[in-house]
């Protein structure tokens, strides 16, 4: 490693500190939930999430005012957020280091894509279609580290612990250690996530773009970068080249992560420069400095022509229109069970940015929430739904509503949550053991957590047609008024595969925004 | 044979060394084998129970590793009577350690998340304070164990500590249960097992008896201090809880369950699993012929 000047050291330290902070916020999203740092912090500070959700959902969330600081920061320090703070940017810097060390192609003609992406995202938000999940760097990284990272961490930590435990040496010490860690951080057994491949593909593509150029995502695709870039046009913090010492060696331009330097090596595209300061380090003539000056108005590469703005607008109109008229077969949404406290479906989809905070915290407490695929249509991709064969809604838990950054899941007091109806249980009489085999079972009834159980029993005499022997059998049935659809019955049903009792969204309660 | 099977087999072989352990026979001792103690504080009643059973030294030897199995299966506060009385757990831990036990291990393969049940039942806190080693249960700790003489359940994953500890004390709480009508000592042993435990529920009587053929507690102490009358075993309604302030304990696990059923108000002989267990020679079911030694603090 080369010796770095102080400015680079400070910038790298800042990047690592913010990435560490980001990971710390993720680690807060766990049962037992005693956060000393809000898990939603970075998402509240995300101007893109703030705009897209509040525009789509037509609401005002005071906590999103934090994002205003980030949104206005370019008026002082340009796109420093991207170069110094954004944890995805830092992650990309790290992976770029491995993937595109020698390659750094110029991608000038692609710069505008991110503005198109931004305009498209905000226009679609206006029509109530939320695309932040696919395009907003902070939710993308939150779920990549929070869900994929969690799953990977478990795979390895559990493997190591199990391996050590199986050797039989110091097994007490090992299981005690594992218990200690478990008490504060992780669930008891490895969480399993459905449709994990989708977020994996998204993040792998974003990081893999390093094969084309450095910071390809930040340069050409990131709508948050485009948004900050538009503001950064007015930034007073600028790169200056001492024209007398400049030897036009082109090193700064070739090495620039963001391809922000013009062919004259003097002019800098302010909406592209992320103030990483590498050029001042790499300049053999030490001709590059940064200082504050009154900004001059200039045409920026992120500006869209009227023509392309219009084109984007038409594309947004068309696609949202097509979304609006695309039908979803209602029978497919039968089992689309939303977390307790969820807003009405349209509102929910408008606000949910698929950061998967709820899915993560649920995985440490009950574990029913999963990322959906097409259960609620294309617009509902990766939204949380309860899958009860993988987990159940813990009676004494209301954490998903506590940590939803956009309040798509409204916070519920525990007493309210315990009576909240997510759906209703139905017996599948051709699977359920008492009905099918005329034998007692009652595992579902045993687990029903309600003070007055929603699963009731009728006791009937059964005469075996072959032997003629009589026995009394308890046949369970549902009191639909009592049932909250928490799904512990479906989860604990001893049948293999599909349960003999199934929760449908019939009777589901939803919050009105 | 893959690595996993290899390791499992190794553990199984090691476990089988301890497998031939038999419970204390009733004829080994002269003092009473069944006691009912009432109306004291949990600590007083625990101490009296051991005293009447012939002293704790009858059960705990120096340097014994003891597995104490309370019911910590539900995410409920202790007053809901879904989980064993924490003060009683704490008192028994202290008595065992004072009697020279090297370690008292406590765990339960709970129905709700153990990370919720353990603290909410307060057992984790008080038992740890009393000196117990309170642990979580993990899937890799279970050993698929053949059940000799079984009628319905021929093998099942059982926690390896069951075969490694010196003594097992079963500490169930007396509760209503729709399937078995009542849940006491036999059913509490399910917390030492893994696998798809719902499958043990049909046919329940045969399978729970089979399970208890290989999991053999040296002593069963039934917590009937607060009992759950209805909506068991998970409860959740204080109206279903009744104060009996009673402990039923003994070495004959069938008889302990039988007397507990009687205390609850049921005819022990009407309980299928108890009848089966009795027929299998696991203990006495007749409460008339086997009266307890009773003691009341008031």
pLDDT at A1: 55
SS3 call for A325: helix
Query: Is the Cβ pair A494, B178 closer than 8 Å?
Result: no
Distance CA B260, CA A205 (A): 64
pLDDT at B105: 97
Query: Is the Cβ pair A396, B135 closer than 8 Å?
Result: no
Q: Which residues of A touch B136 (CB under 8 A)?
A: 175, 178-179, 182, 188
Q: Which residues of A touch B197 (CB under 8 A)?
A: 494
A101-115, A138-152, A237-251, A462-476: the lowest-pLDDT one: A101-115
pLDDT at A203: 97
Name the token pair of B1. 């044979």
Compute how many other C-beta atoms are within 10 angstroms of the C-beta atom of residue B181: 15
Kindly list the distances between the CA atom of residue A142 and the CA atoms of A68, A207, A355, B106, B190, in Å, as whole numbers in the listed order.
Answer: 20, 15, 6, 38, 40
Show the low-confidence residues of chain B (pLDDT under 70).
1-32
Q: Which residues of A touch B234 (CB under 8 A)?
A: 446-449
Taking only the tens place, the pLDDT of each residue in A5-41 is: 999 999 999 999 999 999 999 999 999 899 999 999 9
Asked if residue B192 lies in contact with residue B92, where contact means CB atoms within 8 angstroms, the answer is no
Query: Is the Cβ pair B113, A445 closer than 8 Å?
Result: no
Q: Is the pLDDT of residue A260 over 50?
A: yes
Taking only the tens place, the pLDDT of each residue in B68-126 is: 999 999 999 999 999 999 999 999 999 999 999 999 999 999 999 999 999 999 999 99
Regarding predicted confidence, which is higher, A485 or A333? A485
Distance CA A416, CA A341 (A): 9
pLDDT at B12: 57
pLDDT at B20: 43
Kindly list the distances between the CA atom of residue B255 and the CA atoms of A502, B69, B171, B261, in Å, as whole numbers in the listed order.
Answer: 40, 19, 15, 10
Compute how many other C-beta atoms are within 10 angstroms of the C-beta atom of residue A143: 29
Distance CA A175, CA A230 (A): 54
Minimum CA–CA partner of B111 in chain A: A447
Outline which parts of chain A fall under CATH 3.30.70.20.
421-513
Q: Among B41, B29, B71, B57, which residue's Cα sits nearest to residue B220? A: B71
Q: Which residues contact A13 (CB under 8 A, 6 or more apart)?
A: none
Query: Is the Cβ pair B11, A366 closer than 8 Å?
Result: no
pLDDT at B27: 38
Confidence of residue A302 (pLDDT cuts 50, 70, 90): low
DSSP annotation of A3: P
Q: Which residues contact A315 (CB under 8 A, 6 or more apart)?
A: A120
Q: Which residues of B touch A447 (CB under 8 A)?
A: 111, 234
Asked if residue B98 lies in contact with residue B71, where contact means CB atoms within 8 angstroms, the answer is no
Given A168, A172, A188, which is nearest B115 (Cβ)? Answer: A188
Mean pLDDT, chain B, as a whole number?
90
**What's the gap in Å between the CA of B32 and the closest CA on chain A?**
35
Mean pLDDT of A63-91: 96
Taking only the tens place, the pLDDT of each residue in A177-203 is: 888 887 777 788 888 899 999 999 999
CATH number of A421-513: 3.30.70.20, 3.30.420.40, 3.40.50.700, 3.40.190.10?
A: 3.30.70.20
CA A348 to chain centre: 15
Query: Is the Cβ pair B136, A176 closer than 8 Å?
Result: no
pLDDT at A347: 95
Q: Is the pLDDT of residue A297 over 80?
A: no
Q: Does A457 contact B at CB distance below 8 Å? A: yes
pLDDT at A155: 85
Taking only the tens place, the pLDDT of each residue in B205-225 is: 999 999 999 999 999 999 999
pLDDT at B160: 92
pLDDT at A286: 93
The sign of the dihedral angle between the CA atoms of B188, B194, B196, B202 is: negative
Mean pLDDT of A418-425: 98
Domains and CATH numbers, chain B: 35-296 (3.40.50.11440)
pLDDT at B25: 41
Summary count for chain B: helices (H), strands (E)? 10, 12
Query: Is the Cβ pair A474, B178 closer than 8 Å?
Result: yes
CA angle B195/B200/B202 to nearest 5° reads: 140
Q: Which residues of B touch A394 (CB under 8 A)?
A: 75, 112-113, 116
What's the whole-model pTM score? 0.91
Q: Which residues contact A480 (CB under 8 A, 6 or more apart)?
A: A424, A454, A507
Prediction ipTM score: 0.88
């Amino acid at each position: 490693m080369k010796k770095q000047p102080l400015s680079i050291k400070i910038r790298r330290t800042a990047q690592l500190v913010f990435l560490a902070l980001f990971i710390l916020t993720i680690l807060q999203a766990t049962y037992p939930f005693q956060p000393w740092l809000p898990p939603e912090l970075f998402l509240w500070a995300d101007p893109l999430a703030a705009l897209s959700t509040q525009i789509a959902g037509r609401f005002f969330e005071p906590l999103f005012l934090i994002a205003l600081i980030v949104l206005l920061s370019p008026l002082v320090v340009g796109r420093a957020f991207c170069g110094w703070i954004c944890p995805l940017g830092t992650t990309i810097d790290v992976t770029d280091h491995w993937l595109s060390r020698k390659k750094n192609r110029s991608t000038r003609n692609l710069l505008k894509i991110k503005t198109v992406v931004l305009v498209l995202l905000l226009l679609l938000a206006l029509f109530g279609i939320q695309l932040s999940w696919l395009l907003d760097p902070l939710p993308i990284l939150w779920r990549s580290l929070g869900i994929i990272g969690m799953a990977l961490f478990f795979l390895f930590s559990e493997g190591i612990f199990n391996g050590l435990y199986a050797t039989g040496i110091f097994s007490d010490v090992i299981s005690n250690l594992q218990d200690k860690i478990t008490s504060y951080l992780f669930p008891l057994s490895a969480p399993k996530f459905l449709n994990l491949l989708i977020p994996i593909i998204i993040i792998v593509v974003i990081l893999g773009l390093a094969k084309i150029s450095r910071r390809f995502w930040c340069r050409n695709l990131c709508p948050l970068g485009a948004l900050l870039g538009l503001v950064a046009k007015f930034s007073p913090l600028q790169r200056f080249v001492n024209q007398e010492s400049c030897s036009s060696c082109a090193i700064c331009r070739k090495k620039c992560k963001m391809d922000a330097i013009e062919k004259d090596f003097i002019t800098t595209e302010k909406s592209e420069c992320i103030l990483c300061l590498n050029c001042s380090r790499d300049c053999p003539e030490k001709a590059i400095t940064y200082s504050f000056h009154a900004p001059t108005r200039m045409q920026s590469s992120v500006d869209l022509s009227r023509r392309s703005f219009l084109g984007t607008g038409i594309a947004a109109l068309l696609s949202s229109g097509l979304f609006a008229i695309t039908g979803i077969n209602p029978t497919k949404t039968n089992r689309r069970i939303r977390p307790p406290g969820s807003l009405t479906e349209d509102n929910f989809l408008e606000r949910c940015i698929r950061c998967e905070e709820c899915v993560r915290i649920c995985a440490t407490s009950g574990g029913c929430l999963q990322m959906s695929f097409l259960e609620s249509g294309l617009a509902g991709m990766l939204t949380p739904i309860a899958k009860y064969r993988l987990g159940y809604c813990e009676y004494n838990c209301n954490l998903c509503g506590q940590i939803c950054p956009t309040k798509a899941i409204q916070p519920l007091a525990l007493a309210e949550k315990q009576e909240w109806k997510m759906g209703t249980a139905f017996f599948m009489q051709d699977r359920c053991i008492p009905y099918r085999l005329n034998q007692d079972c009652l595992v579902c009834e045993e687990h029903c957590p309600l003070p007055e159980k929603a699963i009731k029993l009728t006791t009937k005499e059964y005469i075996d047609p072959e032997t003629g022997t009589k026995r009394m059998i308890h046949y369970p049935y549902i009191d639909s008024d009592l049932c909250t659809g928490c799904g512990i019955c479906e989860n604990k049903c001893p049948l293999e595969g599909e349960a003999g009792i199934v929760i449908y969204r019939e009777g589901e309660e939803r919050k009105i925004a | 044979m893959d690595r996993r099977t290899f390791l499992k087999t190794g553990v199984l072989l090691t476990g089988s060394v301890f497998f031939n352990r038999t419970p204390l026979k009733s004829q080994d001792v002269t003092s009473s084998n069944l006691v009912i103690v009432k109306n004291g504080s949990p600590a007083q009643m625990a101490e009296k129970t051991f005293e009447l059973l012939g002293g704790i030294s009858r059960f705990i030897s120096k340097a014994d590793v003891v597995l104490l199995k309370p019911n910590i299966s539900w995410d409920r506060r202790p007053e809901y009577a879904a989980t064993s009385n924490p003060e009683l757990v704490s008192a028994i831990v202290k008595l065992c350690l004072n009697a020279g036990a090297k370690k008292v291990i406590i765990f339960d393969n709970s129905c709700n998340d153990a990370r919720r049940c353990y603290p909410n039942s307060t057992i984790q806190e008080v038992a740890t304070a009393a000196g117990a080693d309170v642990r979580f249960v993990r899937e890799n700790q279970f050993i698929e164990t053949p059940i000799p003489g079984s009628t319905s359940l021929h093998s099942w994953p059982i926690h390896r500590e069951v075969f490694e500890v010196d003594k097992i004390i079963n500490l169930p709480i007396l509760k209503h249960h729709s399937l078995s009508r009542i849940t006491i000592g036999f059913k509490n042993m399910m917390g030492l097992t893994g696998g798809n435990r719902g499958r043990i529920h049909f046919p329940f009587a045969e399978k729970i008896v089979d399970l208890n053929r290989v999991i053999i507690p040296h002593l069963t102490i039934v917590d009937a201090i607060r009992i759950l009358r209805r909506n068991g075993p998970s409860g959740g309604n204080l109206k279903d809880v009744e104060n009996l302030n009673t402990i039923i304990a003994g070495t004959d696990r069938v008889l302990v369950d039988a007397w507990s059923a009687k205390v609850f108000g049921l005819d022990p002989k009407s309980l299928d699993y108890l009848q089966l267990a009795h027929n299998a020679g696991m203990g006495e079911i007749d409460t008339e012929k086997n009266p307890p030694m009773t003691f009341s603090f008031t």
